[in-house]
Structures are given as structure tokens and as C-alpha cells.
A and B are shown apart, each in its own frame.
Chain A
């Protein structure tokens, strides 16, 4: 559904070099990335601010023209066939609404129906469906400017799906939302992927989104693809240790056990790090056999740590992980 081949986007930026002098500097917002996304995949697209996420999305949707490389979405060239493509994709920008500020949500959706030439009957069914799952009923007749951020996001999701697109591109849809709104949006997206088979590309800062929704993750940093593969492998690749938290019956000398090293003690509680290729079961058995243990907990590496580590190593060494498809 999405094919991106060695795509680059260079912006000429004017920098002030003197009081009045300015020089033009070329900045690669996206610096040669390639990936493909198959039909029905739910892919998370991760990266720090300014990494090139939004630029990639804008090239996929035909808003920006790539400086070089090849982009195909649903077999179409996004820039040349932008309006044709628009009928087949839905786009949600978390940072700005596609709805009209002064119109009630219902009128905004009616306008969008005309834009996409959805016939009245189909629209009514679709709207009823969306109203139910996104719980729009309470604010369908409220002007968009009066909606809360969470309501507005649900409205924007509905607006992007009025024409039942095959592909949905989401640019930070959960930004600024509270826990409940986030949960609604996530539940809706996960249902959309599972029931309609919509291909979904999700850009986010929120690793919770990725953990709950995406089986495949792409990480972009400094305009380059730093990782492309499953979430589990991301954890392993980024070489993060699992943490074993041991609560002893009473404070004791540091635990010594094969396959793990002690990283912290606090009274009766001790933290052990198990390398990714270590055998956690053996470590647990070893600790339990030799010490008086009250409780034991194994913590998987936090995705946040993993990604931070990935950004750092990737940035420092210009290192690039080999793409690994699911």
C-alpha cells in the first residue's frame, strides 16, 4: 500500500550569519529512507521532534514534493495524483483540525461528504456507525470551536473516515489528550484495523500508542530510518537489559548469581540486570535457591528506554539497523 524508495527532502534554510547577512543552508529533513507497508498493516512511526516524521507523512499524502526518490501510495504518485489519492486515504493531523471552526460538527461532516461525493444514504449509515463507536452523539451539533480537545479529535477521526478510506495516516492523534480520550481513540483505531482491514500508519510520541496498537515499528532519527521491525525485536536490538526486582526477607549482602549483575540495592530490595540473551528463569531459580526471598518481579525493558537508547546510538554513530520485516 505504501512504497517509499530512497526518498529525500531537502529544505533550503536561511541562516543569519551577520547583522544583515544571511546564507542559505540545505537541510535534509528526510535523508534517504525506504520502506514498504502492506495492506492491512498497522505500523507505528516513531521519532523525536524534528526527526522527519511529519515531512514523511506530507510526502506520502502529496502535500510536499520529495526532492528525490520514489513514493507510491495505493499505486499512485501522491504529488501528481493528489486528488485521486485523497479519495482513498484519510489523514488526521493531531496538531490541527480538518474541521471548520465555526460550523457544528454535523455540518463539517456534511461538507466533507460533498467534498468526497459520498451519497446521502451511505453517509447516513457511516455517520451512525462513527457516532456510535466514537461517541459523537453528545456534541454533533456543537460548533467545533467549543469542543474539547478529546471531542475534537474524535470529530477529526470521523472526518477522516467519512469516505471509508483504505489507508489511514495519523500524525500524532493522541497529542495532548487525557487518559480517557486516549483510550477511546486507541480502542477505535485498533477496531478499525482489525475489522475493516484498514492500513494504518501512526505517527506518535506516545509509546503507549505503539505498545497497544502496532506490531511493527519504524523509528526515524535525523531523517534516517534507524529501525524497522517488530516491537519485540526493537527491545532486543536496542540491547536493553531486563530487570529483576528481588524483595528479600531482610537486608542482606549483595546477591551474587550467574547471568545477572547487581545494579542497585535499597534495604531488603535489590535490582538485578539480565542481559537480553540471558536466561531469566535460571537467574530466578538461582536467586530463590540461595536466598530467603519474599517476592520477585521481572520487568521487561521499558520501550521508552529502548527508544531513547536507539536515538542516542543512532545519532552518535550514524549507525543504521538492518531493516527487519515482520
Chain B
């Protein structure tokens, strides 16, 4: 594990150095990405110009949800987002070249083209999270304070597992990238809002099928002192690490199976 992290940093660092040879292009990409990411926030602000509550949540509370989902997703995207290039590598036969190296192909995929552009997502979401934490009207008990980093870590882990699952899906469906993007990018978009606004059926789906409710919704209910609209037991507020672990196991198993059954190209 330590070894993998070390290799990851070495590889990502080499890519970063390569990108830094074009500093103007690098800065512009970061800024562009930050602007695009901020558009979602603009949408939230416009909604709140017309109403003071969204699904029963105040602006600082929604900003808290936006910030936690955004930071978790930005970190996962930064570290594992390029894993879903697997389909292209399979189609072009370049996965073979990753497989003959002494480092796991997932690690090579995740660091590939590691670009500071992806940091662009982290800046605005991080800023919003800080702002929301300052303005939240919450009694900060030690339990609540401790839950914030835990929910960020859990959310990161869930999104990272989803990125890997998105990649493994492409072992079966080489063109499956778009379909899985609706889960990863789409999921990140949904998690920015109070999930209660999407209705109980969607909420059930986001709890039991694609467990995005555990990214920030469930722990946030605890921090904000809200009842669960589905009436799930209190245990669920703290289940994020378990869900993340389960998703990781699923991702690891499918990744291995996919690799074992990989057929390569014809030449």
C-alpha cells in the first residue's frame, strides 16, 4: 500500500513536471475548470434568489452539501478520474503495454496524464465548503466536528470506487464510458443538492442501488440534526465507511475478473 502510494506520487509528479513545461496553458486549464465547476454553484445561488429554502434546507446547509460532495468528488476525480480511459486503451490495444510493466495497470491508468487541470474542481468547492462551515447554524459537538472529515474521506472513497467500477464496466462494454459517466459525473451533480428534493423513489435508488446517499447526505443529516425522510435507523448516518469498503471490494473483484478475462486485440 505504502509502495503503491509512493509509485503513484512518483508517476503523478513526472506527469506534472511535463505539464508544467507549458505554464500558461496549465494555468488557463485550471481557471477554466474552476469556472465550469462554479456554474453549478451559480445555479444554486439563482434558486435561492427566489426562495429561502430548498427541500427544507437553508442556503448555508445546501452550500455545505455542495461543498462536501464537490470536494469528495474533486479529490476522487483528481486521483482516479483517468481510470475510465480503460476503454480507449482496450480498443487501441495499449492496455497490453501497461500490462508488461511491473506496476499495476490501475495505478498507471490513474496517474496517466496527471494534470493540475483537475485541481480546478477542488478550488471552488473547497472554498464553498469553508464558507458553509463558517455560516452553518449548528451546535458543533465533538461528534459532529469529527464527522466532517470522516464524511469527506468516505465520500472520496465511494467516488473513487465508482471511478474504478466505471473502468471495469468497460472490460465488458468497451464503449461503456458514457453510460458510467452518468453515474460518476451525474452522481456528483445529484449529491450537491439535498437528495430529498428528488422524491422518495430516487432517494431509495440512491441509497440501495447506487449508494450516493452515503457520500454526504446521510452524514449531513446527522450534522444538521435532520430526520431521515426515508426513516432509516441512525446507524445509516455513520455507514459511509462500510459502504465505501463494500464498493471497494466490489471494484477490486470486478477489476481482477475483467483483467483475467481480457482478450487483447488481434495483433
Contact = CB atoms under 8 A, between A and B. Distances in A.
B207 interface: no
B199 interface: no
Contacts of A84: 102
Contacts of B10: 114
A63 B96 contact: yes
B7 interface: yes
Contacts of B96: 58, 63, 93, 96
A91 B102 CA distance: 12
Interface string A36-64: 00000000000000100010001001111
Contact of A115 (B17, B93, B102, B266): B102
B97 A89 contact: no
A91 B93 CA distance: 14
A60 to B, nearest CB: 10
Interface stretch (A103-111, A246-254, A260-268): A103-111
B181 interface: no
Nearest to A95: B267
Interface residues of B, number: 28
A289 B18 CA distance: 75
Contacts of A87: 102
A115 B97 contact: no
Interface in B1-19: 7, 10-11, 14-15, 17-18
A320 interface: no
Contacts of B172: none
Contacts of A96: 92-94, 96-97
Interface in A83-141: 83-84, 86-87, 89, 91, 93, 95-98, 100, 102-104, 107, 110-112, 114-117
Contacts of A65: 260-261
A163 B180 CA distance: 37
B104 interface: yes
Interface of A: 11, 50, 54, 58, 61-65, 79, 82-84, 86-87, 89, 91, 93, 95-98, 100, 102-104, 107, 110-112, 114-117
Q: Give 6 closest A-B pairs by Cβ, nearest first.
A: A86-B102, A98-B97, A91-B100, A114-B10, A87-B102, A63-B99
